[in-house]
Chain A
Amino acid sequence: MYPQAFEYFSPETLESAIDLLSKYGEDAKVLAGGQSLIPLMKLRLASPKFLVNLDRIQGLSGIEEQEGAISFGALTRHAEIEESTLVKSKLPMMHDAVSVIGDVQIRNLGTIGGSLAHADPAGDLAPVLLALGARVNTLSSSGKRTLTLDELIVDAYSADLSSDEVITQVLVPTPQAGSGGAYLKFERRAGDFAVASVGIQISVKEAGSCGDIAVALGAVGVTAIRAKKAEALLREKRVDDALLKEAAAQASAEADPFSDIRGSVEYKRHLVGVLFRRAFAIASRRAQGEEVNTVHG
């Protein structure tokens, strides 16, 4: 279908973009990569009367290593993140996630800011950024704000952003030495949304043990979920097969999936348990310096 008629603006500065969003309020929507919004508009499931395109604005994209964190401009395309050797070496879990977002065309245009603002329950970046403790910077007519992932994404398709608020930057704290992470997504076919996904970031002091750990589950709830009870079972412990099995079962129980065409509640919970064990194994190996690939071809 064709979208309903709308007016289109392509401002050159962030300030003018915010002015436009302030002016038109709930009737306006930000356009970044358009990979979630445009399909929705074509289905007429979203029909904003005004679109404010951010593409012409300079300085909103790019990956930069800063003091203690890696910064991503909100308009950085998934493809750029996928190709970044900095991200692949320091944030392998994030590399895993962007590599499996949609398909090549989607990754060429889709942006990290847009992905977070759209807040799809099955999105790949939210669980990873949740596990990594990322912070999101925004700008609106009221000024600047910084939010954690769980402060930003509050419900399905619901980011806590006012109608004139724009995500400007995502900051990921640089993991300490001896850390590793992995994100595994189970999809029914290439380019699909996850049926279930698990992202695990850990630090390992010696083989067979677990230091700090963060586990995030994707596509099994209205938002990404931190599996805190599963984390508590493993944090600062020696990990054997029995403990890992228990933690996987706990993570499964912390998922809150709904039944749909991609799978039943039981099936999705089962997937969480399986992906948990596999992601943990890969995260451990990476934490000990091994290079492991999760994406096939």
Chain B
Amino acid sequence: MRLEGEFTVQADQERAYQFLVDPEKITRSMPDVQEVEIEDENNFTVKAKVGISHIRGTMVMKLKIVEKKAPVSAKVVGQGSGMASVVDMTTIFTLEKTEEGETRITWSGEMNIGGKLASFGAGGLMERVAKKNLEKFVTGIQQGIDAIKEEAGA
């Protein structure tokens, strides 16, 4: 499934970009994360809780930042497994300055889920769960980037 969106942050483009390609900062914005392992500046693994209500478990995602074109775009590729399922995802971020000196971040992602989660119950449910998690992630990123601005006293 394809998911996309955009949001604006108060930081300037360079700072926003640095945030997005920093595994340590990105993983802090992700919802329900239990463990993070950072191998190097581009490779990291996240273990997180996923699910709705009593249908929940943990998934382990191996993430890699590829195609870095600072400060305009970056691509993150992920492979996850857990709950008798596998997830493949690719997300591309594009940044641009707005008139007010803020940064608009446009993202688009392809997510493929295979295994039990995909066939269990109503398949389209996964899209809603994925969207909810993505919304939380995006909010986390927005808050994270806006916080840098405060720290820098910008």
Contact = CB atoms under 8 A, between A and B. Distances in A.
Interface of A: 1, 29, 37, 40, 43-48, 119-122, 155-159, 193, 219, 222, 257-262
B83 A219 contact: no
B69 interface: no
A195 B121 CA distance: 11
B54 A29 contact: yes
Contacts of A219: 122
A158 B52 contact: yes
B54 A156 contact: no
A262 to B, nearest CB: 8
B122 to A, nearest CB: 5
A1 B85 CA distance: 13
Contacts of B53: 119, 155-159
A222 B125 contact: yes
B124 A260 contact: yes
A45 B56 CA distance: 6
A122 B84 contact: no
A261 to B, nearest CB: 6
Contact of A44 (B52, B57, B121, B128): B57
Nearest to A39: B120
B53 to A, nearest CB: 4
Given A155-B52, A158-B52, A45 B125 contact: no
Contacts of B128: 156, 222, 258
6 contacts: A29-B54, A45-B55, A121-B125, A157-B54, A157-B55, A258-B125
A257 B127 CA distance: 12
Given A158-B53, A258-B128, 20 more contacts: A43-B116, A45-B57, A45-B84, A45-B116, A46-B55, A48-B54, A120-B121, A121-B122, A121-B125, A157-B52, A157-B55, A158-B52, A159-B53, A193-B122, A222-B125, A258-B122, A260-B122, A260-B123, A260-B124, A261-B123
Contacts of A155: 52-53
B117 interface: yes
A257 B51 CA distance: 20
A177 B21 CA distance: 68
Can you list the 8 inter-chain pairs with the closest CB atoms, starting with the nearest? A258-B124, A260-B123, A158-B53, A157-B53, A260-B124, A46-B54, A45-B55, A157-B52
B18 interface: no
Interface string B33-44: 000000000000
Contacts of B124: 257-260
A121 B121 contact: yes
B119 interface: yes
A219 B125 CA distance: 11
A193 B120 CA distance: 11
Contacts of B120: 43, 45
B121 A46 contact: no
B131 to A, nearest CB: 11
B57 A193 contact: no
A269 to B, nearest CB: 13
A121 B53 CA distance: 13
A21 to B, nearest CB: 13
B84 A1 contact: yes
Nearest to A41: B54
B62 to A, nearest CB: 20
B122 A45 contact: no
Contacts of B84: 1, 43-45
Interface string B70-106: 0000000000000110000000000000000000000
Contacts of B117: 45
B51 to A, nearest CB: 8
B52 A45 contact: no
Contact of B57 (A47, A157, A261): A47
